[in-house]
Chain A
Amino acid sequence: MEIIALITGFSLILIGLYGILSKRNIIKIIVGFSLFDTGLHVLIVTVGYIKGGTAPILDSVVGTTDVASKIVDPVPQALVLTAIVIGLGVTALMLAYALKMYQAKKSLDISDFKDMKW
């Protein structure tokens, strides 16, 4: 199961990267970025997964003794929460940039924004 998730995560990252590198349209690049991020999140969650573990919530199901052998690792989950929010922030800011760039040159082609050279 982790293997699948892991492959999915890596694949998303690579697909995202491919999008970032190959697409000229800025919105597409940001879409690539989103995918990249999602892939990352999948990876993080997968790292915390333990076969057969339950969610790290100590309700009656788990009981407060011997928890360690039953739950999945909560740390990556805590990290990924942060990562997701950061991802949103970055995406939003990038989109704002995209808008402004479009306003400036009436173009979304990233190769039109090459004024500063060398």
Chain B
Amino acid sequence: MNLISPIYIVAVSLGIAFFMGLLGNKAQRSSYLILLAALLFNTFVSLQWVFGLGSGLVEAMQVYTAGFKPPFSINLLMGLNESVITALINIVGVLGAIYMMSSLKKNGTGSQVVFLILFMSLNVIVLSRDLFNIFVFLEVGSIALAGLIILQKGTNAISAGFKYMLATGIISGILLIGIIFIYRFTGSLNIDSIITANPILKQGAFVSAFLIIIAIVLELKSFPANGWGLDVYEASHPGIGAILSAASATATYFVLYKIVDIAGSQLNYYISIIGVISFVGSNLLALKQENSKRLLGYSSIGQIGLLMIILGFKDILGENTTYVAFGILVSHYLAKAGLFWLSGIVKQKNIKGWAVIRKKPYFLFLMGTFIFALIGFPPFPSFFAKWTLVMDLVNTGNISWVVAILFGSMMEAVYMIRWFGYAIKGENEDIKDFKIDIYKIIPVGIFAVALYVVGYFVAPHTEVGTAINFIPLYFVAAIFILDFLPVIIKNTLAIVGMILYFYNIYPDLDNMRLIFEAIFMVGGILTLIAGYAYKGKRPGFYPVALLMYAGLTAIIEAQTTLQFFFGWEVMTAGSYFLIIRGKRSMPHGLSYMLFSIGGAYALLTGLGMAHVGHASFSMEILNGISYLPYLAYGLLIVGFLSKTAALGLHIWLPGAHGEAESDVSPMVSAILLKAGVFGIVLTLIGMGASNNQYSELAYALGWLGAITALAGNLMAVFQEDAKRLLAYSSIGQLGYIVLGLAMMTHLGWLGGFSYVINHFLYKAVLFLTIGAVVMRVGTHNMYQMGGLIKRMPLAFIAVMIGIIALSGVPPLSGFAGKWLFYNAILEKGWYFQGAIMFFSGGIAFMYLWRLIHTVFLGQLKDNHRNVKEISIWFLIPIYTLLAGIMVYSMKPQWVLQPLGNMIAKWFPEGQLQWVGETAISQYGQWAGSLVAITIMGSFIIVLVLLMLSTRKAHKVKQFDITYSGERPERPETTHVAYNVFEGLYKAMWPATIPLVEAWWNKITEILHNIADVTRRIYSSNGQVYVAHIVLFIIVSYLVIIGG
């Protein structure tokens, strides 16, 4: 099979470029078409090589100049790598040309020629195997770029271009010195012959190789010698930014990839170090950045840094190098180009101004796609690449590298998510619409779609990626496409989909997983029913809600750690979008995401450590981790705790849950938090369950749980916002669960699991009800409500049962958990934790009373005299859940006995004995049903008595109360609701100082200050930038050779 030789990329491009010179400036329109044709031709050539080489039908092709063999002539090599890279470059060429259509036409044939030549030169530097030839075409490329920078009008572009020329001039000077001396010392200019002839270079040659490599590294705009690059990103046309970031950086990176071996492997380590400095440094500095294009510039530099790390580790990564590098590269390539293009469409300098993108939701979707691809979320290729990278690095003991890489990624996530937050939810007063040129959408859209497609095809290339179950995601995609339909249809579709899926999946699950899957799926279905209460289309809600559920079910079904992590990240993304839908939820969404990502990275590292010493990625590897087990389990636990909002990692939760929409709060509180619990359960099982190997870890976890319970409840007491109160309460409740599980005994787990189920039931009830009430009354503040029992008795009953269950007062189900807990505590000897728990219970009672009193009892407000009962669509799930609570309360053995049997698998010791309906532990007995019957019985008797004696009672008016001899008329002044627990607050205020929040704020502030001080090196003075470059060389020299 004969494919078109890559030489024609050069020949045709140049021929056309020269021909366009002939056309003159009048013929921009036709010359633009010719330009497109040429770029398309290039793309075609490289794509056919991709397919040819990829399918193995053809061999890699060498092109020799004038037919002479290398090293005597310059040769071009078209291998698989080259074909892919050139294809990437040429695709950006075509799309970039489309994107820049008006600019290219306006500036005439000259600019089109420059554009074409730029892409020709990028192709050549990828293909060429001759050092000097690479130098020549690098120069061609940088001159062409210097020409394209000035397509943007204004002084900034001009001065940026000049700085660019200064910097690249010096860099290429250094490169040329390196090249000429390597010729001197090795006698060749051909990369291959230099590599084969000189495995280990002598002093002079090594220095020259060093100069060459460092020059290429500098061309990649390594931090901190990259101010010139940032200025260019900021000043130039967004289309040029895209080219610079996607095409030019890709090509230059490939050059580095080609030539890195000329120094043997001696420089690899240092390249990684420079890479990591770049990655961490520029992502850190970007924290303070508000200019969107400059921000993208920082991010590009960071990504290239990451790629350099990968390159430096190629000996360690082995055959995975290409995969990892490709995954990162292609994500960066697609996402960064997309974002740059988007920035040209949005035309907002400041990232806060990007709020305008809200006016066009589909653009928001594009932006979200790009940003999540950049920070490595599934299903994008970077996710799989990062996974493999971390696995391999951990596997080879490079934990500190992993930490650095993940820290950098974290910083990147911070500013990217913040940016996205501004776009989706930033508070701007007036948001103007913006105009779009149709042709500019094409490239952006193509790249966004490409991200999904590439991700989909990349996934199976990981060893275990094939097993990923994409079916839920297809469903999500389908719902996304159907987003134009009204709520009622989408809701039904979603519910039916989940029912079918659950029906199909549940026979395959073991008991423990079934419990969680049931919470996720049944809970999901029930909370979705509440969605019928919404009118209109509710755009965007269903895809993201289902995305979260898809992630949740994926972590349950996961057979391998990759699947687990995949599901985890999908769930995180989905829940983030859900949370950020709420009003004023932008800062909370951000902190949720950051803690989630931080947690996910801890998780990733932990999973990596679990993999050490195993060939497989099966979930079994969590059992008995052999490599640094304390650290590994600790990381896993921290990762999961970030989701359960343990104290210290909790600051996102109140706002996120509190500000979310009415039916979202129960999803993220009652359901989502259990994902973290599921993870902890898995980890604890892995830690060897009953054999108590890592008791110190469990002990620490137990204390953390206890303190979380106390702190969460204490904070809840002083909330004025009903939903925040419930949110803090969730923190506390999750603390109980964690404490129970950490006890690592049968009873502890039984208590923990019973809490898991209970918390799901009553927190869903409470959040749904309060959410529905909030929908009706339009405020979260409890002191603005009051007396609502008269308007919404059904809601009141739900809340009453909910709080009784939550507070653990017999006879409702909450008591089961308490009883088990104290038995477990006595058995385990964790008395202080137990006392704290009990105290928290007392505090819980305070906020629960407050919740029900200030909302439903007391004085009805004038503006609520006509509110209606909460929506029937909320009542249905609420009462279904209440039925669950009642069944559990009346027949606790129905739940606890199977749970006990299940837990006996891991903790055979110390089980509960069941005699009839009485549970007997070592310390006492509890007959749940009998207690319930006793209480109910006396309740009914007393009730009958009262009814008999008050049968003629008549209703009095609201203000018909005895009040200092007056009759109050204003409910506001009579309703005791604001700051009710003033006395307690006076006694306990030191405990309510948000130390944790202050601590995180301090950390944020320190990071921001570092970023702000450090970035002052970018003084915007061209000379200073040159000085940076030379200093960079000198310092590298001292470190690598001198030191």
Q: Give me the interface of A with B, judged by CB distance under 8 Å.
A: 13, 17, 20-22, 24, 26, 29, 33, 36-37, 40, 43-44, 47, 75-76, 79, 82-83, 86, 89-90, 93-94, 97-98, 100-101, 104-105, 110-111, 113-118
Name B165's closest neighbour in chain A (CB-CB).
A94
Q: Measured between alpha carbons, how far is A75 from B143 in the docked complex, in Å?
A: 25
Give me 9 A-to-B residue pairs in the complex whose CB atoms sit less than 8 angstroms apart, sorted by A's number: A17-B1030, A21-B1027, A43-B177, A90-B143, A97-B161, A101-B158, A111-B1023, A114-B1020, A116-B230
Most buried by A among B156, B165, B1015: B165
Q: Are A44 and B180 in contact (CB under 8 A)?
A: yes
Q: Are B1020 and A40 in contact (CB under 8 A)?
A: no
Q: Which of B136, B160, B1012, B1027 contacts A82 (CB 8 A)?
A: B136
Cβ of B176 < 8 Å from any Cβ of A?
yes
Q: Measured between alpha carbons, how far is A25 from B234 in the docked complex, in Å?
A: 24
Q: Measured between alpha carbons, how far is A33 from B162 in the docked complex, in Å?
A: 13
Q: How far is the CB of B930 from chain A (nearest CB, A)?
A: 72
Most buried by B among A20, A111, A116: A116
Name B235's closest neighbour in chain A (CB-CB).
A116
Cβ of B893 < 8 Å from any Cβ of A?
no
Q: Measured between alpha carbons, how far is A24 from B1024 in the docked complex, in Å?
A: 11
Q: Measured between alpha carbons, how far is A29 from B1015 in the docked complex, in Å?
A: 25
Q: Which of B176, B230, B1023, B1030 contacts A29 (CB 8 A)?
A: B1023
Q: Are A20 and B1020 in contact (CB under 8 A)?
A: no
Chain A contact residues: over half helix, strand or loop, or mixed?
helix
Q: Are B183 and A76 in contact (CB under 8 A)?
A: yes
Which residues of A sit under 8 angstroms from B166, Cβ to Cβ?
A: 20, 29, 33, 94
Q: Which of B143, B156, B177, B1027 contacts A116 (CB 8 A)?
A: B156
Which residues of A sit under 8 angstroms from B1027, Cβ to Cβ?
A: 21
Q: How far is the CB of A93 from chain B (nearest CB, A)?
A: 6
Q: Measured between alpha carbons, how far is A97 from B1030 in the docked complex, in Å?
A: 23
Q: Measured between alpha carbons, how far is A1 from B770 in the docked complex, in Å?
A: 91
Q: Measured between alpha carbons, how far is A26 from B289 in the docked complex, in Å?
A: 29
Within 8 A of A (CB), among B997-1034: 1012, 1015-1016, 1018-1023, 1026-1027, 1030
Q: Measured between alpha carbons, how far is A94 from B1018 in the docked complex, in Å?
A: 22
Which residues of B sit under 8 angstroms from A33, Cβ to Cβ?
A: 166, 169
Q: How far is the CB of A38 from chain B (nearest CB, A)?
A: 11
Cβ of B147 < 8 Å from any Cβ of A?
yes
Within 8 A of A (CB), among B217-270: 230-231, 234-235
Name A80's closest neighbour in chain B (CB-CB).
B180
Q: Measured between alpha carbons, how far is A114 from B159 in the docked complex, in Å?
A: 8
Name B154's closest neighbour in chain A (CB-CB).
A104
Cβ of B184 < 8 Å from any Cβ of A?
yes
Q: Measured between alpha carbons, how far is A47 from B177 in the docked complex, in Å?
A: 10
Q: Which of B176, B234, B1019, B1026 contacts A114 (CB 8 A)?
A: B1019
5 more CB-based (< 8 A) A-B contacts, given A113-B1020, A117-B1018: A21-B1027, A33-B169, A82-B136, A89-B143, A118-B289
Q: How far is the CB of A21 from chain B (nearest CB, A)?
A: 6
Q: Measured between alpha carbons, how far is A43 from B1012 in the docked complex, in Å?
A: 42
Q: Measured between alpha carbons, how far is A24 from B1020 in the docked complex, in Å?
A: 14
Q: A21-B1027, A89-B143 are in contact. Are A116 and B162 (CB under 8 A)?
A: no
Q: Measured between alpha carbons, how far is A17 from B155 in the docked complex, in Å?
A: 26
Which residues of A sit under 8 angstroms from B146, Cβ to Cβ?
A: 93, 97
Q: Measured between alpha carbons, how far is A29 from B231 in the docked complex, in Å?
A: 19
Q: Are B162 and A97 in contact (CB under 8 A)?
A: yes
Cβ of B294 < 8 Å from any Cβ of A?
yes
Q: A26-B162, A116-B294, A118-B289 are in contact. Are A47 and B183 (CB under 8 A)?
A: yes
Which residues of A sit under 8 angstroms from B1026, Cβ to Cβ?
A: 20-21
Chain B 126-162 interface mask (CB, 8 Å, partner A; 1/0): 0000001000100100010011001000011011111
Chain B 159-192 interface mask (CB, 8 Å, partner A; 1/0): 1111101100110010011001101100001000
Q: Measured between alpha carbons, how far is A27 from B1019 in the docked complex, in Å?
A: 21
Cβ of B358 < 8 Å from any Cβ of A?
no
Q: How far is the CB of B14 from chain A (nearest CB, A)?
A: 16
Q: How far is the CB of A101 from chain B (nearest CB, A)?
A: 6
Name A23's closest neighbour in chain B (CB-CB).
B1023
Q: Measured between alpha carbons, how far is A43 from B139 in the docked complex, in Å?
A: 19
Q: Are B156 and A20 in contact (CB under 8 A)?
A: no
Cβ of B288 < 8 Å from any Cβ of A?
yes
Q: Are B165 and A116 in contact (CB under 8 A)?
A: no
Q: Measured between alpha carbons, how far is A75 from B1026 in the docked complex, in Å?
A: 30
Q: Are B165 and A101 in contact (CB under 8 A)?
A: no
Q: Measured between alpha carbons, how far is A104 from B155 in the docked complex, in Å?
A: 6
Q: Measured between alpha carbons, how far is A100 from B154 in the docked complex, in Å?
A: 10
Name B1020's closest neighbour in chain A (CB-CB).
A114
Q: Which of B136, B183, B289 contacts A86 (CB 8 A)?
A: B136
Q: Which of B160, B173, B1018 contacts A40 (CB 8 A)?
A: B173
Q: Are B165 and A90 in contact (CB under 8 A)?
A: yes
Q: Are B159 and A101 in contact (CB under 8 A)?
A: yes
Q: Which 4 A-B pairs have the closest CB atoms?
A: A113-B159, A114-B1020, A104-B155, A118-B1015
Q: A75-B183, A118-B1018 are in contact. Are A97 and B158 (CB under 8 A)?
A: yes
Q: Measured between alpha carbons, how far is A11 from B639 in the docked complex, in Å?
A: 58
Most buried by A among B156, B166, B1015, B1016: B166
Q: Are B177 and A93 in contact (CB under 8 A)?
A: no
Q: Are A115 and B162 in contact (CB under 8 A)?
A: no
Which residues of B sit under 8 angstroms from A44, Cβ to Cβ?
A: 176, 180
Q: A82-B136, A118-B1016 are in contact. Are A111 and B1021 (CB under 8 A)?
A: yes
Name B147's closest neighbour in chain A (CB-CB).
A93
Q: Which of B143, B159, B173, B294 contacts A13 (CB 8 A)?
A: B173
Most buried by B among A17, A26, A97, A110: A97
Q: Measured between alpha carbons, how far is A21 from B180 in the docked complex, in Å?
A: 24
Q: Are B158 and A104 in contact (CB under 8 A)?
A: yes
Which residues of B sit under 8 angstroms from A94, Cβ to Cβ?
A: 162, 165-166, 169
Which residues of B sit under 8 angstroms from A98, Cβ to Cβ?
A: 162
Which residues of B sit under 8 angstroms from A20, Cβ to Cβ?
A: 166, 170, 1023, 1026
Q: Are A93 and B165 in contact (CB under 8 A)?
A: yes
Q: Are B159 and A76 in contact (CB under 8 A)?
A: no
Q: Which of B169, B183, B184, B1020 contacts A115 (CB 8 A)?
A: B1020
Most buried by B among A17, A21, A26, A113: A113
Q: Which of A89, A100, A117 contacts B1019 (CB 8 A)?
A: A117
Q: How far is the CB of A69 from chain B (nearest CB, A)?
A: 16
Q: Measured between alpha carbons, how far is A98 from B161 in the docked complex, in Å?
A: 10
Q: Measured between alpha carbons, how far is A96 from B992 in the docked complex, in Å?
A: 65
Q: Are B1020 and A117 in contact (CB under 8 A)?
A: yes
Which residues of B sit under 8 angstroms from A17, Cβ to Cβ?
A: 170, 1030
Q: A89-B143, A97-B162 are in contact. Are A110 and B1023 (CB under 8 A)?
A: yes
Q: Measured between alpha carbons, how far is A105 from B156 in the docked complex, in Å?
A: 11
Q: Measured between alpha carbons, how far is A79 from B1026 in the docked complex, in Å?
A: 25
Q: Measured between alpha carbons, how far is A86 from B165 in the docked complex, in Å?
A: 13
Q: How far is the CB of A87 from chain B (nearest CB, A)?
A: 9
Within 8 A of A (CB), among B644-670: none
Which residues of A sit under 8 angstroms from B132, Cβ to Cβ?
A: 79, 82
Q: Which of A75, A82, A89, A115 contacts B155 (CB 8 A)?
A: A115
Q: A47-B184, A113-B155 are in contact. Are A37 and B173 (CB under 8 A)?
A: yes
Q: Are B162 and A101 in contact (CB under 8 A)?
A: yes
Q: How far is the CB of B140 from chain A (nearest CB, A)?
A: 9
Q: How far is the CB of B343 from chain A (nearest CB, A)?
A: 15
Which residues of B sit under 8 angstroms from A110, Cβ to Cβ?
A: 1021-1023
Q: How far is the CB of B388 from chain A (nearest CB, A)?
A: 35
Q: Measured between alpha carbons, how far is A49 from B183 in the docked complex, in Å?
A: 13
Q: Measured between alpha carbons, how far is A115 from B160 in the docked complex, in Å?
A: 10
Which residues of A sit under 8 angstroms from B169, Cβ to Cβ?
A: 33, 36, 90, 94
Q: Are B234 and A116 in contact (CB under 8 A)?
A: yes
Q: Measured between alpha carbons, how far is A98 from B1022 in the docked complex, in Å?
A: 13
Q: Are A90 and B139 in contact (CB under 8 A)?
A: yes
Which residues of B sit under 8 angstroms from A115, Cβ to Cβ?
A: 155-156, 159, 1020
Q: How far is the CB of A9 from chain B (nearest CB, A)?
A: 9
Q: A115-B155, A117-B1018, A118-B288 are in contact. Are A97 and B165 (CB under 8 A)?
A: yes
Q: Are A40 and B139 in contact (CB under 8 A)?
A: no
